[in-house]
Amino acid sequence: MKKLILLSFTGLLLMGLVLNFSHNSAADEGKDYKDSHLSSLEVDKVDWKSKDKKYWKEVLTPLQYKVTREAGTERSYTGKYWDSKVSGTYVCSNCGQHLFSSDTKYKSGTGWPSFWKAISESAVIEKDDSAWGMTRTEIVCSRCGAHLGHVFSDGPQPTGKRYCMNSVSLILIPNQKEK
Ligand SMILES: [Zn+2]
């Protein structure tokens, strides 16, 4: 009898582990958004431009802050999305504005997530950037001013553009059907 109880207990325990595991992997997809400061906010109603350094330091991870607020760059091939093939919408990790669709993502071979088009012309702002002795075009989020990356003119058709973004500047919201 004791053995039976022990067996069923072990069985239950294993079942619990399996269930828990599948639960985790299903929830993983949207995890970033849920764990970020955006989850508790109505992101379209916040006055993002009024947020100061202190606020951003509090809500962002150190790497996110360095990249998005101090125009840093994450190391290539280290970010979460450079190789992601999940379809969905990439939103700003700082303010949640929709920035890029996975439909325009392509493999650039750079180790950073690359797109040939922004989701809309009003979502991103282009700025001249002459830091580090290079003349480049910086891309920032039009709603909160977060640095996202740079745009180059060696991308694929139909635009010929390469939006070279930092993974930490983005959060991928997967399409519902794939959850
Ligand atoms: Zn933003």
| Predicted pLDDT of residue 25 | 40
The closest of 178, 172, 171, 149 to 74, measured between CA atoms, is: 149
List C-alpha distances in Å: 97 to 101, 120, 169, 175.
12, 11, 11, 16
Cβ atoms of 114 and 100 closer than 8 Å? no
- Each residue of 69-85: pLDDT tens digit? 999 999 999 999 999 99
| Predicted pLDDT of residue 22 | 43
Residues identified as active-site: 164
**What whole-number distance in Å separates Cα of residue 157 and Cα of residue 176?**
28
Residue 8 scores a pLDDT above 80: no
Name the band, by pLDDT with cuts 50, 70 and 90, for residue 7: low
Q: How far is the CA of 36 from the centre of ligand 1 (A)?
A: 13
**What whole-number distance in Å separates Cα of residue 106 and Cα of residue 41?**
31
Q: How far is the CA of 59 from the centre of ligand 1 (A)?
A: 13
The percentage of residues in the chain with a pLDDT greater than 90, rounded to a whole number, is 75
Q: How far is the CA of 147 from the centre of ligand 1 (A)?
A: 8
The percentage of residues in the chain with a pLDDT greater than 70, rounded to a whole number, is 80
- Each residue of 105-154: pLDDT tens digit? 999 999 999 999 999 999 999 999 998 888 999 999 999 999 999 999 99
Q: How far is the CA of 132 from the centre of ligand 1 (A)?
A: 24
Residue 1 scores a pLDDT above 80: no
Q: How far is the CA of 44 from the centre of ligand 1 (A)?
A: 11
